[in-house]
Each structure stands twice: as structure tokens, then as C-alpha cells.
Amino acid sequence: MERRKFVAGAGMAGVLASASSPAAAQALPELKWRLASSFPKSLDTIFAVTEVISRRVAALTGNRFQIQVFAAGEVVPGLQVADAVQNATVQMGHTAAYYYIGKDPTFALGCAVPFGLNARQYNAWWHEGGGDALYNEFLKEYGIHALLAGNTGAQMGGWYRKEIKTVEDLKGLKMRIAGLAGQVLAKLGVVPQQLAGADIYPALEKGTIDATEWVGPHDDEKLGFHKVAKYYYYPAWWEGGPALHLFVNSKAWSELPREYQAALEVAAHEANVLMLARYDASNPIALKRLVAGGTQLRPYPRAVMEACYKAAGEFYAEVTAKNAKFKKIYDHQSKFLEDEILWFRVCEANYDNFMQTGRKKG
């Protein structure tokens, strides 16, 4: 792929050289773009990577390509970023693609789906497995070009006012949950709600919802969910490795000088690596604080996980039977996941299992 050649080879040096060359810089236009984020500024990891992108693009282009970043609600609400990109209200946005399943459930396959890829597997699928080209082919009809620009890693399974001991405990539960997971859980009696990050705490506090999922300990602590819900479940089987993207207006992307496209690609790569690193570093510390403060940590019971897996399989059978675009990407991604699981089972999982249960401290 062209992007891989650029990042891995001499293309990087060429871009840096062209950006630093006075003659080349003078030949390139001065551009000012706007970027709308789906996330509030208080989330200092998932929002902050957009500021990293802005600074890196400016540095690589001698400040001739500048990107002004807006938090959720400053230009458009967080769940309307894709629309803002489509209609050119902004040139690009930073968002979670599964927010837009109302347009087409296929959007979710670019972010995360129940019992899907983890973060490393997603990176492999996107960059080496053909995912980039396949997903961008789907996005063409929406006038969007996507650049992978973040991953939270496997997320927590959410905050609940009551314990979840059996599948029966899910019935009638009003839960804020994003993506296709809500439709899967609806099969088990859950009443799914989709709310932007800033709207979740008030809804949970007032009892409008009974439970919520968001990301993980670092972000969840900042949003204060532990103050209004006692039980913290894991894992989020619907978000094993949710990816975030830059959604760029296709026309604006095609009109960018190649040097600026390359700078934006480099910045997106940096954001992708940095976001996961920051979450992996900050989540353990936040989790310790939450548990010390009284949060009750609970794994989902095996029977609940198995029921959710069965419901997910039924959901996929229904959607693939009637949505050819979803089926095309889902089948491709599923086959890739089968091979990834085989490899991870042989080596990665065994190493992780030993480090978690077998090694002696000290």
C-alpha cells in the first residue's frame, strides 16, 4: 500500500525535506482547516491526540497547513461529526465510526463490533490485511476518506447500579452503549441508549439509565461514573480494540497537495500509537484508585458472556443476510480474525497467561 511505502521507506525523508526546503515551502499553499472532535476536552487522551495531530502537521509543513481543533459541541454535537464532514461544515473530524450505524451498520466495522478484533489485530487488519482499502471503498458513497488515528485497547464492560449475576438481570436494563452491542443486548432484554460522553453522567445520576459503558478506568474516573454506580464490570466484549479515525471530506482530501496528505498520514500514525500507549500507561493507575475508593470490580459471569456471544452470532446472521456491504467487510474481517486468534493462542495468550498468573512476584 502507498501509505506503508511512505512510512517505511524514503518517502518520509522526502516529505520532511520538502517541508524544510524554502523553495518547496513557498510553492505550497497556506491552508487552515477545522477539525471537529466527537469528544470533550476533559478526556485528556482521546481528545488530546487531535491536538497532537494539529501540531505535527504544522511542524511537518512549516506551519503552512494549520488545523484548528474543536471539542464536541463547539461546532457540532459529538454524534454529528460525520455529517459535518460530509456537508463540509468542517474539513475533517476525529470520531468513532460506530456512532453512525443509523446510516448503515457497516460503519461499526471500522471501529469495533461484538467479539471482534483487539487493538493489535485491528492494526494488522487495517495496515496489512486490506482493511484500509476495503473500509474506504465503503466510505466513498458518503464523501469521506478515513485515516486510522487511535485505539483505546480493550475496554471495560461498564458501570451498573446493581450486580449482574445471570442473564435474567439484563432484562429491562436501560444502558448507554454504543455501536452494534446495543442491538445484540436488546436480544437479551436490555434497552440500549446512545448518548455522547458529556451527557452520560447526568443520565446515570438521575436514573434515566441504569448502566453505562464508556472507555476504561482513566476516562471513566474523569467522568465520575463511580460516584453514581457501584459495580464495574469487565470486559467489554463489544469493544476488544475500538479504533478511532480521522474522517476527512473526500473532496478536501483529493485537493490537498500530496505533501500535506503525507503529513496528515504521519500525524494520524503518531496519534494511533500514542493513544494506545497513553491508555495502557494510565488505566492501571486509575483502576487502583477506583478500587481503593470502593468500586466493586466484577467479571461478567461466564453464562452471560456465552449468552451474549450467541446473541451476537444471531445478529450477524440477520445483518449479513440483508446488507451486502456489511457482509463484504464482516466476512473479510472475520476470516482475518480467525488466523489472528490462532497465532495469539499459540504464543501471545500463553505468555500473557503466565505473566498474569504464573510468575512469582519479586
pLDDT digits (tens, 9 = 90+) for 123-134: 999 999 999 999
Task: Give mean pLDDT, residues 338-342.
Answer: 97
User: Is residue 10 over pLDDT 50?
Assistant: no
Q: How far apart are the first and last CA of the chain?
A: 46
Strands 191-193 and 144-151 turn out to be unpaired
Using alpha carbons, select from 213, 207, 168 the residue that is nearest to residue 194: 213
User: Is residue 8 over pLDDT 70?
Assistant: no
Residue 195 pLDDT: 86
Q: Are 47 and 37 in contact (CB under 8 A)?
A: yes
Task: Give mean pLDDT, residues 172-198.
Answer: 93
Can you tell me the distance from the alpha carbon of 141 to that of 170, in angstroms, rounded to the nearest whole number? Answer: 37
Question: What is the maximum span of the chain, computed from C-alpha positions, in angstroms?
Answer: 69
Task: Give mean pLDDT, residues 14-33.
Answer: 67
Q: Which of 15-29, 33-47, 136-150 has the lowest mean pLDDT?
A: 15-29
Residue 139 pLDDT: 98
User: Is residue 17 over pLDDT 70?
Assistant: no
The pLDDT confidence band at residue 9, using thresholds 50, 70 and 90, is very low
Average pLDDT of the chain? 93
Task: Give mean pLDDT, residues 105-118.
Answer: 98
- Residues near 47 by beta carbon (within 8 Å), at least 6 away in sequence: 37, 39, 40, 41, 71
Distance of CA 286 to the CA centre of its chain: 20
- Residues near 26 by beta carbon (within 8 Å), at least 6 away in sequence: none
**Predicted confidence (pLDDT) per residue in 265-287, tens digit:** 999 999 999 999 999 999 999 99
Task: Give mean pLDDT, residues 195-213.
Answer: 92
Strands 211-212 and 158-160 turn out to be antiparallel
Residue 12 pLDDT: 47
Task: Give mean pLDDT, residues 324-348.
Answer: 97
Q: Are 51 and 58 in contact (CB under 8 A)?
A: no
What the block records as the C-alpha cell of 194 is 446512545
Q: Which domains does the chain have, with CATH numbers?
A: 2-154+240-280 (3.40.190.170)
CA distances to 135, 169, 239 from 163, rounded to whole Å, are 38, 8, 21
Q: Are 226 and 64 in contact (CB under 8 A)?
A: no
Element (DSSP H or E) covering residue 265: helix 258-292
What the block records as the C-alpha cell of 43 is 478526556
Residue 194 pLDDT: 85
**Predicted confidence (pLDDT) per residue in 292-321, tens digit:** 999 999 999 999 999 999 999 999 999 999
Residue 302 pLDDT: 98
User: Is residue 362 over pLDDT 90?
Assistant: no
User: Is residue 147 over pLDDT 50?
Assistant: yes
Can you tell me the distance from the alpha carbon of 194 to that of 203, in angstroms, rounded to the nearest whole number? Answer: 11
Residue 126 pLDDT: 98
**Predicted confidence (pLDDT) per residue in 49-81, tens digit:** 999 999 999 999 999 999 999 999 999 999 999
CA distances to 21, 74, 96 from 329, rounded to whole Å, are 42, 33, 17
Residue 272 pLDDT: 98
What the block records as the C-alpha cell of 111 is 471501529
Torsion, Cα of 262, 29, 84, 184 (10° steps): 0
The pLDDT confidence band at residue 1, using thresholds 50, 70 and 90, is very low
Helix and strand tally (H, E) in the chain?
15, 11
Which residues are bridge partners to 148 per DSSP? 245
Measured in residues, the chain has a length of: 362
The pLDDT confidence band at residue 99, using thresholds 50, 70 and 90, is very high
Task: Give mean pLDDT, residues 330-335.
Answer: 98
Can you tell me the distance from the alpha carbon of 250 to that of 188, in angstroms, rounded to the nearest whole number? Answer: 39
User: Is residue 25 over pLDDT 70?
Assistant: no
Q: Are 274 and 56 in contact (CB under 8 A)?
A: no
User: Is residue 346 over pLDDT 90?
Assistant: yes
Reported pTM? 0.91
Using alpha carbons, select from 319, 309, 299, 307 the residue that is nearest to residue 171: 307
Can you tell me the distance from the alpha carbon of 71 to that of 93, in angstroms, rounded to the nearest whole number? Answer: 10
